[in-house]
Amino acid sequence: MENFNNLELIIFDLDGTLVDSGKDITNALNYAIAPYGFKSLTVEDTVKFVGEGLTRLIEKILGDNNASVKDTAIERFINYYSEHLTDFTKPYPEVAKTLEILCRYKKAVISNKRESLSKKLLEQLGLMKFFDVVLGSDSVPEKKPSPAPVKKVLEILGVYPGRAIIVGDSDFDIQAGKGAGLITVAVTYGFRDRETLKGADFIIDSIDELPDLIGMQDAPQIMNHASCIVHRVS
């Protein structure tokens, strides 16, 4: 399908792909761990840990000797983060414009952030309208890098793997996509370096390269708003 002629569905990662959320996640983490004497994290520290979901994120930061405070730290994180999702978080440049250009395709988000938080964040940034389905870490029994959430999106939208691609900024996205039989596209501007992304089928440096990659040379001319209505099923 590498000429993308039969493409029906584009699946996106959220953090590090559609939105730059590092500062808000860092602030929530620092609030969560503050009572336990841990050194405050920088954004650079945080983005190295992000990707495997909240529980794993907290576990990495607390270490093996602090299991007793894990649940409380997670609760503190959720309570704070849910109220500060978009204090600093913004879509990456050209994201909204590119999503609109891609209106002819079904689109989904698969995040390792919890589903409710993913949807709330997308709503607050005005991006939810672009997506047919949004799944989070708690939407299916397994999260990325498992292909399970990818397969769930395919099932919900009735799309064959050969007619879908996944776009993300980490090896978790690449592994999940390949495991489900999708073409994988990695973006270099997110939370991982280019070396981590070398397993992807394609690598792009900006989201607005995606329409050209999939063969939409006529992209500026096809922004027909009447055909861009999303019929959300999840």
Catalytically active residues are 13
Q: Residue 113 is encoded by which pair of tokens?
A: 């952030």
What's phi and psi for 142, nearest 5 deg? -125, 145
**Residue 179 CB neighbour total at 10 angstroms:** 15
Tokens (6 digits) for 224: 């027909």
CA 130 to each of CA 42, 95, 103: distance values in angstroms, whole numbers, following the listed order: 32, 11, 8
Q: Are 92 and 188 in contact (CB under 8 A)?
A: no
Q: What is the DSSP letter of 38?
A: P
Torsion of CA 172, 1, 136, 77, to 10 degrees: 40
Contact 18, 127 (CB under 8 A): yes
Q: How far is CA 75 from the centre of its chain?
A: 22
